[in-house]
Amino acid sequence: MDAEQIDLMRRIAAALERLAPPPAPTLDLSVADGFVWHPIPGMLAPVAKVSRVPIALLKGVDRQRDILLENTQRFATGLPANNAMLWGARGMGKSSLVKAVHAEINRENPGTLALVEIHREDIRSLPDLLNKLRGQPKRCLILCDDLSFEREDSDYKALKSVLDGGIEGRPENVLFYATSNRRHLMSRDMIENERQTAIHQGEAIEEKVSLSDRFGIWLGFHNCDQDTFFAMIDGYAGALNLPIEQEDLHAAAVEWSVTRGSRSGRVAWQFIQEMAGRLGVKAG
């Protein structure tokens, strides 16, 4: 080729390099304790500080806390452990408990466990994430918050395959936790629709509810009573050292819960944020 053709080829090669996506960064789980999965471009973004509530401040979920903490401790030490589904009333601390347990494990043994968040809309990319984590020296806890499936949503089939492990099996350094407001992760009308249209109705229902059966641990979260609500309020107020009498605090908390129409850990925390602002205390 003459000089003109060589120069043209060089410019074409340079243009192709600019168009090509950058190579994925080398995965290093030691840089942080928390990560967020981005399926495009297939990378784990480190989280400098995981947003969480100390485990001691989570009230009304003692049994759920003990079971999840024990299961996670076994996993962190290399012993067999189960995938877990935390389901039930909204605002009762399902995702907060997972993050608090993760923090407690790393408090006892720093750097032991990585928390990896995968968004509901990215669940179909879960096999790619597992391939990224497979063989990593650090043990990884994958969290999918508010997981549920709607009509005509087939992503649940991919999740079933992953939880079962497929041919490769679930990586031994990975555990999967999900939170959901639905016990079987699917809306009732979605299940009922399968019953009405299926030739063998029982088989259709089994296909739908069998997804939740892939989780070895089910933990139910239910609406709290007023005493538990007050315990949540007192715990948060004590942690922030709010300068207010307990009687006045409880009276204001009752009024707040009535206006919200519910009592839950989330409502308690929102109330404490309001009170801290009124009293001029930084929530930190």
Mapping DSSP onto H, E and C, the string for 1-57 reads CCHHHHHHHHHHHHHHHHHCCCCCCCCCHHHCCEEEEECCCCEEEEECCCCCCCHHH
User: Which residues are within 8 A (CB) of 204 and not within 5 positions of it... i.e. 6 or more apart?
Assistant: 194, 195, 197, 198
pLDDT level of residue 36 (50, 70, 90 thresholds) = very high
pLDDT tens for each residue of 229-256: 999 999 999 999 999 999 999 999 999 9
What span, in angstroms and rounded, lies between the C-alpha atoms of 252 and 1?
85
- Domain 29-221 is of which CATH architecture? 3-Layer(aba) Sandwich (3.40)
For the chain, the farthest-separated pair of C-alpha atoms sits apart, in whole angstroms, at 91
Would the pTM of this model clear 0.75, i.e. be above it? Answer: yes
pLDDT tops 70 at residue 210: no
Do the strands 34-38 and 43-47 form a parallel or antiparallel pair, or are they unpaired? antiparallel
The pLDDT value recorded for residue 15 is: 81
pLDDT tops 60 at residue 196: no
User: What's the chain's length in residues?
Assistant: 284
Backbone angles phi, psi at 281, to 5 degrees: -105, 130
Helix, coil or strand: residue 282: coil
Sign of the torsion formed by the C-alpha atoms of 146, 147, 153 and 155: positive
Helix, coil or strand: residue 172: coil
The pLDDT value recorded for residue 117 is: 97
Assigned token pair, 240: 């922030």
Lowest mean pLDDT among 197-206, 213-222, 272-281: 197-206
How many CB atoms neighbour CB 114 within 10 A?
25
CB 222 within 8 A of CB 255: no
The answer to whether the peptide bond before residue 80 is cis (omega within 30 degrees of 0) is no
| Residues pairing with 84 in the sheet | 177, 217
Domain extents in the chain: 29-221, 226-279
User: What's the DSSP call for residue 146?
Assistant: T
pLDDT tens for each residue of 88-124: 988 999 999 999 999 999 999 999 999 999 998 898 8
Backbone angles phi, psi at 131, to 5 degrees: -65, -35
Mean pLDDT of 163-174: 77
Assigned token pair, 203: 């088989």
Angle ∠(114,149,85) on CA atoms, nearest 5: 40
Q: What is the mean pLDDT of the chain?
A: 86
Amino acid occupying residue 99:
K
Burial class (CB in 10 A: 0-12, 13-18, 19+), 179: buried
